[in-house]
Structure 1
Amino acid sequence: MSTEDPIEQLPRGIALAWGVAATPQRGPKREMSVERIVDAAIEIADNDGIQAVSMSAVAKRLGYTPMSLYRYVSAKDDLLLLMQEEATGLPPESEGVENWRTRLEELYEAQSQVYLTQPWLLSLSIMGSPITPNSSAWLDASLEALHDTPLTQDERIAVSIFVTGAARWKGTVFAGYEDQKRATGLNDSELAQQESQLFDAVITDDGYPSLRRAIDAGVFTSEADPFAFGFECGLDGLAEYIDRVSRERGDGPSAAAGMIAETASEAGESSVSGATLPVEETSGVEQSVVTDDDPEVAADKKYRESQKAVRQAQKVLAEARKRERQTLREAKERIAKRR
């Protein structure tokens, strides 16, 4: 292969994620692979948190020496990248979604679930734009949802970042509350009451009048879902913007205004209780997605096993894509040699 091939210039971790990095020809007698190393690291993170993941801990879990692992994954940063790639998985299929709003709602809920079920992902630094296969697939899915809109490519990227950021922020807040629950032994209701009492003790009407009124209204013990409400408001604004751009460019009336009306009731419903979210009403996603919003369900052993099975299926798909890319490169090399 030509030394100028950009594939050869990829950092080791990214090359491993795409399945284009060379693997050791020699190694431990027992079967060893990058996939096994990553799986073991994820199990450690799931059980003990990301801080417990180290090359030595993973090696011990697999019954090897740390040096054996370095033959496959040469740096911990590469291992963390591969863990993030596998835990993130692929975005859900569109399931016949017909408009951009419903699809973005679906992607928002699915990304939220990733962070709710594996909150250790939130501890990993964001190192620029997504370049790995699964991360790129999520970005591609958001952009595809906006394909038939009049938005520019820059605007579509901005919307994709908005969706991902909203899901990540929701996951961050939920993860923080879960840490508090573990540390204090309090349940959701008790924790909300404690938080409200702390605010009540220090927030005065003369110093923070607006916040005082919110506290008196019971916002910290309310069952309303501020994340769903905020996200839906963002989509409302986007729908109006798309409608305006369509009119200004002479494309005729868009479906944006209609979609606002169609989803108004679902958005209102989601703002009343976190148990009902718009995606379940509009995209045909199974109702189990709603119950997963409960961190106790997310931690359930059988549920985690089913998530592992999903990751295994995604791994098979990734392996098939890896073989496809390899055969494509080989075909190009054969053609180049004949020329």
Structure 2
Amino acid sequence: MTDIEPPELPRGIALAWGVAANPQRGPKREMSVEKIVEAAVELADGEGIGAVSMAAVAARLGFTPMSLYRYVSAKDDLLLLMQEEATGLPPESHLEVEGWRARLLALYEAQILVYLRHPWILSLPISGSPITPNSSAWLDASLAALDDTPLTADERMAVALAITGHARWCGIVQAGYSEQSRSSGLSAEEVAMREASLFDRVISAEEFPALRRAIEDGVFLSPADPFRFAVERTLDGVAAYLDGLDRGEQHRVSEEWVALDAAELAGDKRLKEAQKASRDAEKALRAARKLERQALREARERVAKARKSG
């Protein structure tokens, strides 16, 4: 047993779980936390997260900003509740498919749809584990999909986080393309063609040989989904790991997180200056190598011309 008192729930999290104290005064039936959050989500969906402020939400509801603060006392709490509302619960349909892999893929696809419907979620900072009902339900669903596997608790969490990470990265890219399409008036295909054209103009075989080959192979215009390929290969790895456990191999989970050295985090001035000098030297080296390749190419062209004229 311990005498340490558990920390009090922050108000935003308490509101999400429905255990926060209600305001003692202010508009009653006309105003509620739910109505405030719904209005804020509608505002973000229509105009982006930058349009969301307590004043803007209050105006949308026909109240003063001060009346909102009686229900949601800080904008950070409002953003947390907006994310919770927009995230919603994982679809029951993922339970209709059989097997851990199929269920994780169904959850992966459903998460991407959430990001595409509410792309502003992706701009909110990640400040820790999801301690709200809906976010917890998504994590619970991913962990439950792995219930019948021999994975340890740590391993199940690692797989669940990997799938969530794949979905978030796919959502970031797809939402970015959708925003480009919306703001430019171009179709998704036209946006892809413009991007491919820009890469074609600036990427040379001498400086970026592998990327140049990829461009010439048409990767930027390919209909293939690289994110689905990546998540499938991740699940291939999990399947192979499970096969190994079935054969009696040992569990293998990394014991440590990747961490910066304390000196990196301390912001030491001399260390920063040394790092900047190192980056500048790397830039100078890249520039020198570029000049070398250019000179070599020009020399080859001169030799070829000389041979032709001779």
Name the structure 2 match of 1:138.
138
Q: Which residues in structure 2 correspond to 1:20-169 (within 5 Å)? A: 20-28=19-27, 30-93=29-92, 94-169=94-169
Alpha carbons of 1:30 and 1:137: their partners in 2 closer, same or farther (altered >3 Å)? Answer: closer
Partner Cα separation in structure 2 for residue 29 and residue 113 of structure 1: 35
Name the structure 1 match of 2:236.
236
Name the structure 2 match of 1:194.
194
SS at match of 1:163: helix
Q: Which residue identity is paired with 1:64? A: F
Deviation of the 1:127 alpha carbon: 1.1
Partner Cα separation in structure 1 for residue 7 and residue 67 of structure 2: 24
TM-score of the aligned structures, taking structure 1 as reference length: 0.70
CA-based RMSD of the aligned residues comes to 1.8
Partner Cα separation in structure 1 for residue 28 and residue 129 of structure 2: 38
Partner Cα separation in structure 2 for residue 144 and residue 190 of structure 1: 41
Deviation of the 1:206 alpha carbon: 1.9
Alpha carbons of 1:29 and 1:98: their partners in 2 closer, same or farther (altered >3 Å)? Answer: closer
SS at match of 1:9: coil
Q: Tell me, which stretches of 5 or more residues in structure 1 are unaligned?
A: 251-339
Name the structure 2 match of 1:269.
none
Q: Please identify runs of 4+ aligned residues in structure 1 that moved more than 4 A.
A: 4-8
Partner Cα separation in structure 1 for residue 6 and residue 44 of structure 2: 30
1:37-62, Cα deviation, whole Å (9 max, x unpaired): 00010110011101000000011111
Deviation of the 1:115 alpha carbon: 0.2
Alpha carbons of 1:199 and 1:14: their partners in 2 closer, same or farther (altered >3 Å)? Answer: same
Query: Is the 8 Å Cα contact of residues 95 and 103 (structure 2) preserved in structure 1?
Result: no
Deviation of the 1:246 alpha carbon: 2.0
Partner Cα separation in structure 2 for residue 210 and residue 249 of structure 1: 37
Q: Which residue identity is paired with 2:15? A: L
Deviation of the 1:6 alpha carbon: 7.1
Alpha carbons of 1:202 and 1:111: their partners in 2 closer, same or farther (altered >3 Å)? Answer: same
How many residues in Structure 1 have an aligned counterpart in Structure 2? 247
Partner Cα separation in structure 1 for residue 138 and residue 145 of structure 2: 11
Name the structure 2 match of 1:323.
none
Q: Which residue identity is paired with 1:213? A: R
Q: Which residue identity is paired with 2:36? A: I
SS at match of 1:35: helix
Partner Cα separation in structure 2 for residue 216 and residue 116 of structure 1: 30
Deviation of the 1:95 alpha carbon: 3.2
Deviation of the 1:193 alpha carbon: 1.2
Name the structure 2 match of 1:175.
175
Alpha carbons of 1:49 and 1:98: their partners in 2 closer, same or farther (altered >3 Å)? Answer: same
Q: Which residue identity is paired with 1:23? A: N
Kindly, what percent of the aligned residue pairs are identical? Answer: 67
Alpha carbons of 1:96 and 1:186: their partners in 2 closer, same or farther (altered >3 Å)? Answer: closer
Deviation of the 1:182 alpha carbon: 2.8
Deviation of the 1:8 alpha carbon: 7.7
Q: Which residue identity is paired with 2:80? A: L
Name the structure 2 match of 1:263.
none
Q: Which of 37-46 and 178-187 deviates more?
A: 178-187
Q: Which residue identity is paired with 1:91? A: P
Partner Cα separation in structure 1 for residue 96 and residue 4 of structure 2: 38
Name the structure 1 match of 2:208.
208
Alpha carbons of 1:58 and 1:139: their partners in 2 closer, same or farther (altered >3 Å)? Answer: same
Name the structure 2 match of 1:19.
18
Name the structure 1 match of 2:218.
218
Partner Cα separation in structure 1 for residue 208 and residue 199 of structure 2: 11
Query: Is the 8 Å Cα contact of residues 7 and 20 (structure 1) preserved in structure 2?
Result: no
1:266-304, Cα deviation, whole Å (9 max, x unpaired): xxxxxxxxxxxxxxxxxxxxxxxxxxxxxxxxxxxxxxx
Q: Which residue identity is paired with 1:165? A: G
Partner Cα separation in structure 2 for residue 108 and residue 69 of structure 1: 35
Q: Which is higher, the Rg of structure 1 or of structure 2?
A: 2
Partner Cα separation in structure 1 for residue 16 and residue 28 of structure 2: 24
Partner Cα separation in structure 2 for residue 79 and residue 92 of structure 1: 24
Partner Cα separation in structure 2 for residue 179 and residue 104 of structure 1: 28
Partner Cα separation in structure 2 for residue 33 and residue 177 of structure 1: 36
Structure showing greater relative contact order (alpha-carbon pairs closer than 8 Å, 6 or more residues apart)? 1
